[in-house]
Amino acid sequence: MPETSLTPEPGTVVVYSDIWCSFAHIAIHRLHATRTRLGLEDKVSFDLRAFPLEMLNDAPSPRPGTDSEVARMASLEPAAGWQLWQAKDWLYPSTTLPALEAVLAAKEQSLKASEQLDLGLRRAFWAESRTITHRKVILDVAKETGAVDVDALDEALNDGRARKALSEQTALARTDAIVCSPHIFLPDGTSHANPGIDVGWEGAYGIGWPVIKSDDPKVYEQLLESAAA
């Protein structure tokens, strides 16, 4: 399936998101947890794609913004893994592009490899305060998943073979086709932006905080059952 096709084959869920995005951290956790609970691990795969906020905003994601989200979003889905940044300030990631590229590169091995690397990198950032900008951290996380051929991933990152896909997905993310991170696309042609969560903001991003108007995690059961049908 082309990397820019928005209607996946049956049994596949396309997800556009950024690793910096706390809403995407919740969405990815819920996709994995719900798939396991429903026994659909052999029937539904996740095709993970990039919605790089830093490219769309022409600036790195501001740390005050992510810090302001941690407590509120963690209260919605504690099991996803959260903490305020605990490492040295200068180790805070300045970009997620290398991590997003690695997730795309891992697809060359399998969607499962890409899924597990993506999940591991999100936990590394949100729950473990690790510098996911750094190549060694990315490869360390890949090894920890047990699902990724680390040497093959290292080779793919060296020659940049996934960079074109990252650029194409960034271009698509600039259009109205992708609304936000996360945005989920199903085989029936429907799409769901930030599924189950209705959110507003109190104050400007990085100064104020998110205000959750409603949250319905059960939406993920419907999404996955639809993808599996």
Residue 101 counted as domain residue: yes
> Percent of the chain having pLDDT more than 90?
87
Residue 5 counted as domain residue: no
Tally of domains in the chain: 1
pLDDT of residue 1: 55
Residue 34 counted as domain residue: yes
pLDDT tens digit string along 135-166?
Answer: 999 999 999 999 999 999 999 999 999 999 99
Domain limits for position 18:
14-228
What value does the mean pLDDT take over residues 120-142? 98
What CATH number is associated with residue 153?
3.40.30.10
Residue 3 counted as domain residue: no
Residue with structure tokens 């539904």? Answer: 44
pLDDT at 4 over 90: no
pLDDT tens digit string along 21-42?
Answer: 999 999 999 999 999 999 999 9
Prediction pTM value: 0.95
pLDDT at 2 over 80: no
pLDDT of residue 71: 86
What value does the mean pLDDT take over residues 182-193? 97
Measure the CA–CA gap between 104 and 98, rounded to whole angstroms: 10
What value does the mean pLDDT take over residues 84-106? 97
> How distant, in Å, are the alpha carbons of 31, 59, 99 from that of 55?
26, 7, 14
> Which two three-digit tokens encode residue 222?
């419907």
Measure the CA–CA gap between 154 and 169, rounded to whole angstroms: 22
